[in-house]
Structure 1
Amino acid sequence: MKNKIFIIIFSFVILVSCQATKQLSGIEEIKNYQKELAESYTDPKTTPLVKEEKDNFKGITFFPINEKYIVEAKFSPIKDGKVIPFPTSAKKIKNYKEYGVVEFELDGQQNQLTIYQSFPIMEEYKEHLFLPFMDDTNGVTSYGGGRYLDLSTKDLGTKSKTIIIDFNKVYNPYCAYSKHYNCPIPPANNLLDVEINAGVSYIK
């Protein structure tokens, strides 16, 4: 009997330990992602900034990592999605095709966002999905022009019914730091009536 109890307790400890390790690895993944993103702006080989912008650059800042902003969203594909012209920061147009809609709950509120693909779709980017959005932090603690999140068709769950959205990985468009880029402005239907205190924040 004692051996049986010991085995049950030991199995429980292993299960908890595995869950903690999995949780830790997720946090570490976010930390690594944010570290690489910040370093890409200071690395001469990858920085989008020109010399005068580098002199005034204050670095990439982040909200504290928060697992609340890792959500499992219901995914609904959009059949024969429309091609939508997105106005850009340079007052030009970039085209994106509707790919699907995600629905999720945050702070007790139901939210909906549309996911897009660039159009026309180039072969090397056929798996890339684009989620531009705005929320109640924009212009206050995050960039006023909205933020982006990159996703992949590979992120879709079983039978494409769910997708994990990790707002800890949202980033600012290059236009937040440089005037030399042409960045799409998130559409009105992707305006969230909640605060997303996650991912890249903004210091002017």
Structure 2
Amino acid sequence: MTDGANNAESDDFDPEEWREQLQSHRQQKDDFFAEHRQSPIPPEDRDDFDGLDYFDPDPDYRVTASVEAHDQPEPVEMEVSAGAPQRYLRVATLHFELGEGDDAESLELSAYQQEGQDGLFVPFRDKTTGQQTHQDGRYMEFEIEGDLSDTDELPLDFNLAYSPFCAYSETFACPLPPEENWLEVEIRAGEKA
């Protein structure tokens, strides 16, 4: 679930186009949740579903991360909301800053893959977790073009952060963000609880 666009600070970033793409993405997701047979919303609750709740779009939560690819990814056992832990590989560390000037905070998130997968899975918790956002954290996913070791930078758009399916139905088992991905800041972007 990436938009593949450039960093908000780059010269060719168009905030209006970005906002329109984000709103379109959110509308498509609402339509899927309301109508699709694979929706995580239980069928008996879909008639009352009137859309997901989001933070307002905020380009300040759209940053560029430097990618530290790990040549020998370490296995990580992630706890799951129900059932046995799931095995992932920690394939990269994403380094980024939130805020500007003296208020900028240097942060990092680990990115994972399961065996045979190409994209990056970035589960995280932040200071909104259990308050404004889902109690077990949120996810981001990124497609990588080419080899990860050749990727120097990656756009991170927290406006695309979403709640796992287990937030809507107990029939789903969802990986829980490991402690290394617990951010000590508020990420007031993306999907709310």
TM-score range, shorter chain: 0.7 to 0.9
Q: Distance in 2 between matches of 1:189 and 1:145?
A: 14
Distance 1:198 1:129, change over 3 A: same
Report what 1:143 is aligned to: 134
| Deviation of the 1:44 alpha carbon | 3.4
Identity %: 27
Distance 1:55 1:39, change over 3 A: closer
Of 70, 94, 104, the residue aligned with 1:102 is: 94
Partner letter of residue 181 of structure 1? Answer: F
State whether structure 2 residue 178 is matched by structure 1 residue 181: no
Could you give the per-residue CA deviations for residues 88-110 of structure 1, whole angstroms, max 9, x where no partner exists?
Answer: 00032111111100111113111
Instruction: Look at both structures and tell me which one has the larger radius of gyration over its CA atoms.
Output: 1
Higher helix share: 1
Task: Point out the more displaced range, 53-62 or 26-35.
Answer: 53-62
Report how many aligned residue pairs link the two structures.
179
Contact 1:155–1:164 (CA under 8 A) maintained in structure 2: no
Distance 1:158 1:19, change over 3 A: farther
Could you give the per-residue CA deviations for residues 73-93 of structure 1, whole angstroms, max 9, x where no partner exists?
Answer: 111001111121111000321
Partner letter of residue 102 of structure 1? Answer: L
Report what 2:120 is aligned to: 129
SS of residue matched to 1:98:
strand
Q: Distance in 2 between matches of 1:105 and 1:156?
A: 24
Could you give the per-residue CA deviations for residues 43-97 of structure 1, whole angstroms, max 9, x where no partner exists?
Answer: 1334123234436656311000000000001110011111211110003211111
Partner letter of residue 163 of structure 1? Answer: L
Q: Distance in 1 between matches of 2:93 and 2:179?
A: 14
Task: Point out the more displaced range, 136-145 or 149-158.
Answer: 149-158
State whether structure 2 residue 63 is matched by structure 1 residue 71: yes
SS of residue matched to 1:81:
strand
- TM-score normalised per structure 2: 0.84
Task: Point out the more displaced range, 174-183 or 39-48.
Answer: 39-48
Contact 1:133–1:192 (CA under 8 A) maintained in structure 2: yes
Structure 1: state its 5+ residue gaps. 1-17
Structure 2: state its 5+ residue gaps. 1-10
Partner letter of residue 41 of structure 1? Answer: F
